[in-house]
Structure 1
Amino acid sequence: MDTTKNNKGGRKPKLNPSKNRYVFRLTDEENIMFLKLYEASGMKNKAKFITTILFQKELKIVKVDISTMDYHTQLTKFFYQFQSIGNNYNQIIKILYQNFTEKKASFYLFKLEKHTQDLALICKKIIELTKEFEQNHIQKNPEK
């Protein structure tokens, strides 16, 4: 009895194999343009890239701007620092009124209020700088 017919080994055959092959040639300039598009697409397979473009499937190109990412990261860290200041502010006010007389607590609260106004000005400046940065450095998608 020969049982090798049931178990051939090797790779399982594809249900719909790609049998047809096409060859085309590009000039040096066309090849440079093709390679730029291919790299921008982020795809790992040139054949899939070509079929995606030929059959007009949706092709998404994501460009990552490192400086924008760094700016966003630093802005996020700064935002968390503002949140921490807000939490500390509430805790300080509670402690002032629990541990000091009304007059002394009001005195320290007045000082704290001055620093809070300074922080508000800094926050406004950050918002202005962020808007300026977005206008000058972040490209908006005109389709949306």
Structure 2
Amino acid sequence: MSKALGTDDSVNACMCCGKANLKFTVIIELDNGEIVHYGQVCARRNTGKTQRAITSEINAAKAAAVRSAQADYLASPEYLAERARFAEREALARKTGTDLIGRAAAEFVREACEAAMAVRKAIADKYRVSPWSFPA
């Protein structure tokens, strides 16, 4: 059974009928594993599914990608180091009795935050999601 995987606005021609200048195409995985880009009408005709069913499959695929990206990010050493650095900042504040605030607080965690952000962006690219689509 063919499956809708998502949409792609970089491919604007239907691989079925050849219609060009589409706003986006639907990415379909055919029964034989081949990936094709169809316009919405051809996607419905060739899969035998309603637009609602196709949209539901696309949303499910996006949600699965976001969950996978989040799991990878939360397991990354950079994320764990960032959280540890924040905890260290809090422990220092409790120990000294004064909170780091403003620029000093930001500088204390800057290096760990930049490393975590670089990994977050790489993971987001890997799963083709926004870096901000998965919570930390």
Q: Return the TM-score normalized by structure 2.
A: 0.33
Which has the bigger relative contact order, CA under 8 A and spacing at least 6? Answer: 2
Question: Which has more strand, going by share of residues?
Answer: 2
Question: Which has more helix, going by share of residues?
Answer: 1
